[in-house]
Structure 1
Amino acid sequence: MKGIDITRPDKLLLKGIKTLGALGQNLYSDKKSEAKAKAELTFIGKKKMESVQSQLYQFDAKAYTVENDLDDFSFLKEAQGSNISWLNFHGVHDVELLKKVGKAIHLDRLTIRQILDTTQRPKVDEYDDHLFFSVKSIAKNKEEIDVEQLSFVLGSHYAVSFQEEIGDHFDGIRNKLKEGLGFVRKRSSDYLLSQLLDAILDNYFETIDQTNEAISLIEKVVIDDPDKSTLIVLEKHKQNAQTIKKALGPFKEALTNLMNGDSKLIQQTNLKYFRDLGNSASAAMEEIESTLRTLEGLTNICFASQSQKMNETMKVLTTVATIFIPLTFIAGIYGMNFDNMPELHNPNGYFYTWGVMGAIFIAMLIYFKVKKWI
């Protein structure tokens, strides 16, 4: 028997080792490419504007300026005296533009990714030099409820807001800044954030009021004469109310987390405004839950009314059928073709039969009335 030369590896074994090495290298490359792809910043959501628009409002107690469509955001890096800067964006799909903003105010990739992802749940995160706050805003568009994500970044001397599209949420605040009304131009950036959030909550209350007004109109129809179309309308309102509740719940939770925290960016003198926002969010949540209970009750009334109508119909049909059962029985007997039937040869047999059938009919009606079945 010949011995095996261990100094000369088998060619097949070497080929197998090389193949495994190549597979391992490919697997490593694939994982590396996958990790790189995950790290890429991409916009997630529905693009609602062709191009991103920006507006910069800089103000203090004495001065107010406005600039549009900025490209350089380096001014956000350092405070400029007592000036407060509010930078607002309409559109959040421009990744490179958001990177520039992120670089200016030291946003990490996670925060930028959260701004780009419009499907994110509302939340609040605190960092060393800024606060990130994202919420869902709602607006009634005909019979639908539109949901929009808004993100805010709060610094010691600035506030940056990101909106998916042009809206009128903050028109009142812009007017206050322009006219010098209220305390917006006299206080810090955290007060400005509280006013921006308050404007969004006002929009919630307005939408809930509009929904309740529409429900009050259909309530009369439900009580008087509901039909299939009434149920469809009620279901639509119920879906809208659920959408509002789904957006409002995390908003309220984020406000609660902000109030329970000890953020150095929220001044003690302005903390009461955020507490008031939390109370308003709780009130809005109670209001929309009451709306849902009302809709559930109206739906039950609608079903009960339709069931009652069906019962009334079935009662009438059953009464008619019951009355005609003995009459049909009599008619069936005298419809048989037998010769040995005495009544057939009676000259008044026809009238006697009608008399008996009429008496049975009247007797059954009286009986049903006494029993209160009809």
Structure 2
Amino acid sequence: MKPIDITRPDKLLLQGIKTLSTLGQSLYSNKKSEAKAKAELTFIGQKKMDEVQSQLYEFDADSLDIKEDLTSFQFLKEPVKSKVYWLNFHGIHDVPMVQKVGKSARLDRLTIRQILDTTQRPKVEDYEDHLFFSVKSIAKKEELEVEQLSFVLGSSFAISFQEEIGDHFDGIRNKLVEGLGFIRKRGSDYLLSQLLDGILDNYFETIDQTNAEIALIEKVVISDPDKSTLIVLEKHKQNAQVIKKALGPFKEALNNLMNGDTKLIKPTNLKYFKDLNNSAAAAMEEIEATLRTLEGLTNICFASQSQKMNETMKVLTTVATIFIPLTFIAGIYGMNFDNMPELHHPYGYYYTWGVMGAIFVAMLIYFRVKKWI
């Protein structure tokens, strides 16, 4: 950099303007780079599969065609009017694949970003030509497992995204293959209601399984609780809190859907979503009842341990109280004084034992009458 001639104020001012301009351009360039980095789509969550798997169920009332591991999604752009398409993905960490699906289904960038984010809160968002719905699914295996699922509903298609293979929709697949019920006779909105109903069924199964385990623990709590019982109760309480935390936003999203006015849910199928909302409310009541039961069992456990401690202290206090006068007598006659007539009495030893025994029996009778023991 050339030295500034401080004898020329005009040059000094010009040099300052050029310096500020350079700094401004540098800051703008840095902010632009940061904004570009933030705008890049990335997968947020835990990768649970190496390869993405996809399944397509193309059906109407009379036919069903199943395809797997698709590479083209042109049918989302140009669907056959008489057909309904269910596209399911296991694994959503492949960002280019999700972008490709989003482009074919004409999804906006925000929807694609929300699909790729498996840590977000369950929600429902209504757009002009599609409906986005995200939920948390609960499954009880060795441990309680929580999974994020996203759905996109179009006029003739439903797309489901999940990061791992689960058994949420096996019943729906069987109905499609066997042609049972109305699932192949109604539109994509009815299909979405059935998919959400499958997730709610998992909630009920998990809650029922938890309640069955709590019923077994309840017998232990009533009979002989210990420290391990408290640990098990606390574990179930944490699981119940997780279920409630996942179920609450799910219920809220269904309620928002009922209060909205989306064009993608036909009036004839709206009743199924209302039934889902009622089921979610019932599940919430069940898990709250489970939490109350766990809280009550915890209180019983603490009360039982406190009662055991009180019983132990009562026994120790009784023994100590009985031996206080006996120790007093023994202390008096254990003093080394010559002038103690009883020490020289031929039966003094037996008299002392008799007095001490009488005191012992009298105190036991007194405690029994007072119902202290």
Normalising TM by the smaller chain, what interval?
over 0.9
Aligned to 2:89: 89
Equivalence for 2:115: 115
Q: Which deviations, in whole Å up to 9, do the C-alpha atoms of 1:348-369 show, x marking residues without a partner? A: 1111111111111111111111
- 1:267 corresponds to: 266
1:225 Cα offset (Å): 0.6
Q: Against the structure 1 CA distance between its residues 350 and 126, is the aligned structure 2 distance closer, same or farther, given a 3 Å change threshold?
A: same
Q: Distance in 1 between matches of 2:23 and 2:354?
A: 102
Q: Which residue of 1 aligns with 2:61?
A: 61
Check whether the contact 2:6–2:12 (CA below 8 A) recurs between aligned residues: no
Amino acid at match of 1:106: R
1:138-160 Cα shifts (integer Å, max 9, x gaps): 00021x21000110000010000
Q: Which deviates the most, 325-334 or 86-95?
A: 325-334
The aligned counterpart of 1:124 is 124
Residue 27 of structure 1 and its aligned partner are, at CA, apart by 2.5
Partner in structure 2 of residue 301 of structure 1: 300
Which one is further off, 30-39 or 131-140? 30-39
CA offsets, 1:19-61, max 9 Å, x none? 5444433322222222111111111111111111100110001
TM-score, scaled to structure 2: 0.95
- For structure 1, which runs of at least 5 residues remain unmatched after alignment? none
Aligned Cα root-mean-square deviation (Å): 1.7
Gap regions ≥5 residues in structure 2: none
Which sits farther off after the overlay, 170-179 or 5-14?
5-14
Structure 2 CA distance for aligned equivalents of residues 56 and 191 of structure 1: 17
In the aligned structure 1, how far is the partner of 2:22 from the partner of 2:320?
86
Cα offset for 1:290?
0.6
Instruction: Tell me if structure 1 keeps the 8 A contact 2:60–2:184.
Output: yes
The DSSP-based 3-state class of the residue aligned with 2:372 is coil
- Separation in structure 2 between the aligned mates of residue 354 and residue 288 of structure 1, nearest angstrom: 66
Between the two proteins, the alignment pairs up a number of residues equal to 369
Shift of the 327–55 alpha-carbon distance from structure 1 to 2, 3 Å rule, reads same
* Identical pairs, percent: 82
Residues 6-15 or 313-322, more deviating = 6-15
1:340 aligns with 339
On the 8 A contact 2:189/2:265 being kept in 1, the answer is yes
Instruction: Tell me whether 360-369 or 10-19 shows the greater mean CA deviation.
Output: 10-19
Which structure 2 residues correspond to residues 1-374 of structure 1 after superposition, within 5 A? Answer: 8-9=8-9, 19-142=19-142, 144-374=143-373
Go from structure 1 to structure 2 and tell me whether the alpha carbon gap of 1:351 and 1:6 turns closer, same or farther (over 3 Å shift): closer
Measured in 2, the distance between the counterparts of 1:34 and 1:317 equals 72
Detail structure 1 runs of 4+ shifted over 2 Å in the superposition. 9-30
* Pair 342,66 (structure 1): closer, same or farther in 2 beyond 3 Å: same
Offset, 1:16: 5.5
In structure 2, give the amino acid aligned to 1:242: Q
Change (3 A) 1:63 1:370: same
Q: Normalising by structure 1, what TM-score?
A: 0.95
